[in-house]
Chain A
Amino acid sequence: MKQGFEVKDKALFDAAELILAEIKAIGADEGETWVSRSALTEVYYELGKVSMVRTVFSDNVSLKLLKDKRKGSTTFNSFAPEDIRLAVQEAWQAAQSAAPDEAEGIAELQENLSFSAGEEKPDLDAMYRQLEQLLKDVRQDFPKISFDSIGIEHQFGEKLYANTNGVRLSDRRGLYQLSNMFMAKEDGKTSSFNYFATVYENPAARVCEENRVRRLLDETQRQIVTEQFAGSFEGDVVITPGCLETILYYVTDTYLGDGALISGTSPWKDKIGRQVASPLINIELVAEHPELPGASPLSGDGYVAENMPLIEQGVLKNFSLSRYGAAKTGLPRSRNNGSTYVLGGGDTPLEEVIAGIEKGILMGRFSGGSPSPAGDLSGVAKNSFLIENGQITKPLSEVMISGNLGNMLRDTVAVSLERECSGYWLLPWIRVKGVTISGK
């Protein structure tokens, strides 16, 4: 929910105002701060049992100040006035030794707003019941699955951004999150590990009823005994939604983010308005979406984030630049530089996406190093299956793919109608042609 600026926890407001007053008093030209207070409650499963209940109370502060465009910043976890004064002095001293950078600055005055979502108080009994139910459902429906760990947590926090230009923004939200790691085992053999994470508002929901969860558990159970193949071939790769999120993160980092554009290494640095991907590709960075409670309404540098297309019908529409990155490169600041992805517009049923493939793989997870600055990447196609003559046939191991991020988006030949949602992302399956697939 969006409303006029209002901070419920007065301690946050007081801390932020004191920080800005100290920043001005010490002689800085500009300054900004994030102040937050949160409580996390977790029910945790490991070593074959529900093992722990954990509570974490946190106060956190970060601040940045500028003097003659020289920057100093620090983080700490106390609202005590004496700690605030020490932290401002620390940042001040750091700024004294820093080289000036004309691109430095803080967010300009804008409408002061507050956002909120979810519940403040955790329902610990419901969290425990949800975990027990998940374990029971998995034992019954997926008996070969073995969880290494499961954490169900509720985190409530309020955070406040304030700067010396008068910007005041806050966000207050309480969300549940489930994360885990699991594998399947039978007769002394094990599958690769797998995992999923979900963010949500209702701890009464039955996790194992979600299609994505059932698919991942089912696929992992079928990967205990895998096959390898020799040699390599050029084929089609169908990338699953969870795996696609990894690829999109790489695309943003390698082609569209501050680092790649400031350093000048991005091959897409002059490609705004140009075709960089298949016309089937539509990627949006999201700040607000009814299915994505994990989306953040605020950017890290003190702006209200907006939904923003990165690529529309294959045409590059925006970079993902912070205020600093924009000032440094002379490009416009992006309305969203987060990592909540929505990829839409697919119109091919998943069955048909796979049906058209003569030889290729279904890739559940990509395990590899970061791409080179040119976007070249190679790594192991984890949790993957062979596709032959339009059918998913055998589970595979020790299969590597190599290619180039830009080429993969350019060579996308199908986007599925179906999508999966984690609460952080909403993504389809995509099919990429002509990827080098190597066996053992």
Chain B
Amino acid sequence: MLQDFLQAYVNKYGFSGYTELRAQQNRNRSVVMLNGSLTANNSGTSRGLSARVVKGGAYGFASGTGYGDDLEAIARVVQTATNNAAFLDRHVQRGKPDFPANAPFTRKDGLEQDVPVEQSYLLGIVDELDSYIAERFPRLLSRRIVARVLDMEKLLYTSDGVVSHSYVPRSNVYVFLTTQDKDGQPVELYKVMGGYGNFLNKFPNAEDLFGDIEKQYEQLILKAEGVYAKPGIQTVILDSDLAGILAHEAVGHTVEADFVETGSVGGPMFGKQVASEKVSLVDIAHDAFGKLAPVPVFVDDEGTLAQDQMLIENGILTGYMHNKESALKYGHTPNGNARAFDFSDEPLIRMRNTCILPGNDKLEDMIASVEDGYFFTDMNNGQADSTGEFMFGVPMGYEIKNGKLGRAVKDTTVSGVAFEVLKTADMVSDTVTWTNSGMCGKKQMIPVGMGGPAIKVQINVGGRA
């Protein structure tokens, strides 16, 4: 747990002008076992201090390693940030006033989650899973087990009196299985488990994962015997993994205010119909559907109290995600989307937990409604564009013929333009599933949650003729 040396600094020196002062510690662990060999056995800590100062609308930022009780070292970081702001202010001379002050508050969130886990515990879980897979499925071409922990702890003081101490843990296990198809070509399928929480609680024992691995192996064999999807526009049910990444990559980024400012498709579409009225999309701050969201953010790194940000309401684009500066510019309210990954990173406009809200349809009714199409269940990496154009990999899915699931489908892709695809959504399932393993890249990486129900859409499938 980070000790609070910032209070003593503030007591002694106070703040001169708008300032955010943040101590941060990211702790990570990773264990990778490939075909029984331990290829990674790492732990790490990144700890340091940063200050961001705003002078006349010009930002100065500085950071340094070595956070501790040396108040002079803290003062040097603040002074460097102040000097940087002054340098830029001399050049740009914007003369802007400071941001409106937040009402002071103090919060502590998630600190009880700081339960240390030994590296040996991760090794034990991975070793047991590897042994189980090797013994149970001896004909696999390759197997890889990954255990990963990322715990982020932040202590923030702002010049308007906000004090926030937060701890957000993430623990995941990845299982990659590879077999061969009838032509001897390798076929792979991976699954990710876990999410918010410390590793001990998320993975109390390896046996709990055996059932999921059995299902994964069955799916892999079906995939190896599977067929290629037909290319072109198809009726497809995107299960929650794919709906979640569609919400994040293809819609979410285009409604981040900095991207809007540059010229993303989200700009001219504000207030307009961008999706079927069955689609509502929200970036959740910390609580959803009676539970903690995968990546809970209670206070962002500018000291803004985090609230949910509605983005699409019944098909209408109604909101953007902001930091303090962009919110001021657009006349909107900032809702806590300014996030930094490491102590040395400045806050950027980022998503938190982007989710399509559930509808009223049952998944089985959705499948039954498709005469000829696909049910895609898994996604791997994907990318999207300022235009809303996207492409996602689909490593697992099934044909739907006459309302029933058919043969498995080999690796394929889906692509399209987000707002066009979402306008075709005519069924939305009633159950949301979250994923919490993704890192979003935008100058810095940041953990994000993605979620959604299954949605039925018309979408371009990159199959083989």
Contact = CB atoms under 8 A, between A and B. Distances in A.
Interface of A: 43, 46-60, 62, 71-78, 80, 90-91, 93-99, 101, 103, 124, 128, 146-149, 151, 181-185, 188, 190-193, 232, 258-259, 262-265, 324, 328, 367-370, 372-374, 376, 378-380, 382, 397-398, 400, 402, 436, 438, 440
Contacts of B36: 99
Contact of B119 (A78, A90, A367): A90
Contacts of B333: none
Given A54-B84, A263-B142, A263-B178, 7 more contacts: A50-B92, A53-B60, A91-B43, A99-B37, A192-B387, A193-B385, A369-B391
Nearest to B262: A148
Nearest to B382: A369
Given A77-B48, A190-B264, A398-B417, A55 B92 contact: no
Nearest to B443: A149
A77 B47 contact: yes
Interface stretch (B9-17, B62-70, B149-157): B62-70
B133 to A, nearest CB: 14
A379 B460 CA distance: 12
Nearest to B257: A47
Interface size class of B (residues with CB under 8 A): 35 or more
A146 B386 CA distance: 12
Contacts of B60: 52-54
B265 interface: yes
A52 B59 contact: yes
B45 A49 contact: no
B446 interface: no
Interface in B241-266: 258-259, 261-265
B325 interface: yes
Interface string B263-292: 111011000000000000000000000000
Contacts of B416: 398
11 contacts: A52-B346, A55-B80, A58-B48, A75-B43, A75-B44, A76-B44, A148-B262, A264-B141, A369-B382, A376-B411, A380-B389
Contacts of B360: none
Contact of B391 (A52, A91, A380): A380
Contact of B346 (A54, A59, A101): A54
B385 A124 contact: no
Contact of A259 (B34, B258, B386): B34
B185 interface: yes
A190 B386 contact: yes
B41 A51 contact: no
Contacts of B415: 380, 398, 400
Given A53-B87, A97-B124, A59 B41 contact: no
A185 B392 contact: no
Contact of B188 (A76, A188, A372): A372
B387 A51 contact: no
B241 to A, nearest CB: 13
A252 B346 CA distance: 34
Contacts of B44: 62, 74-76
Please name the 9 residue pairs, one residue from A and one from B, whose CB atoms are nearest each other, closest first: A369-B393, A97-B120, A75-B44, A185-B263, A53-B84, A373-B186, A52-B59, A94-B119, A148-B262
Nearest to A265: B186
Given A75-B42, A372-B188, A373-B186, A402 B393 contact: no
B37 A101 contact: yes
B325 A47 contact: yes
Given A75-B42, A77-B45, A151-B443, A378 B59 contact: no
B170 interface: no
B233 interface: yes
Contact of B178 (A49, A90, A373): A373
B88 to A, nearest CB: 5
Nearest to A367: B383
B1 interface: no
A417 B232 CA distance: 37
B385 A192 contact: yes
B385 A440 contact: no
A382 to B, nearest CB: 7
Contacts of B39: 258, 262, 324
Contacts of B352: none
B205 interface: no
A153 to B, nearest CB: 11
B350 to A, nearest CB: 13
B422 interface: no
Interface of B: 34-48, 58-66, 80-81, 84-85, 87-88, 91-92, 94, 118-120, 123-124, 127, 141-142, 144, 178, 185-188, 231-233, 258-259, 261-265, 267-268, 325-326, 329, 344, 346, 380-383, 385-387, 389, 391-393, 411-413, 415-417, 443, 460, 462, 464-465
A71 B325 contact: no
B113 to A, nearest CB: 20
Contacts of A52: 58-61, 84, 88, 346
A436 B464 CA distance: 9
A374 B46 CA distance: 37
A60 B59 CA distance: 26
A97 B29 CA distance: 14
Nearest to A39: B64
Question: Most B CB atoms within 10 A — which of A48, A53, A149, A191?
Answer: A53
Given A71-B38, A191-B387, A370-B381, A55 B119 contact: no
A192 B259 CA distance: 12
B41 A73 contact: yes
Between A184, A188, A379, the greatest number of chain B beta carbons within 10 A of the residue's beta carbon is seen for: A379
B382 A99 contact: no
Contact of A47 (B47, B61, B258, B265): B258
Nearest to A440: B460
Given A52-B346, A183-B262, A264-B141, A379 B443 contact: no
Nearest to B76: A57
Given A378-B412, A380-B415, A54 B61 contact: yes
Contacts of A192: 385-387, 389
B78 to A, nearest CB: 12
A191 B263 CA distance: 9
Contacts of B46: 75-77
A10 B74 CA distance: 24
Contact of A262 (B34, B40, B325): B34
B336 to A, nearest CB: 18
B74 to A, nearest CB: 13
Contacts of A376: 411
A151 B442 CA distance: 12
B447 to A, nearest CB: 18
Contacts of B120: 93-94, 96-97
Given A57-B65, A75-B45, A232-B465, A400 B88 contact: no
B365 to A, nearest CB: 29
A71 B41 contact: yes
Contact of B84 (A55, A57, A76, A93): A55
A379 B92 contact: no
B38 A190 contact: no
B460 A98 contact: no
Contact of A97 (B65, B123, B346): B123
A72 B64 CA distance: 27
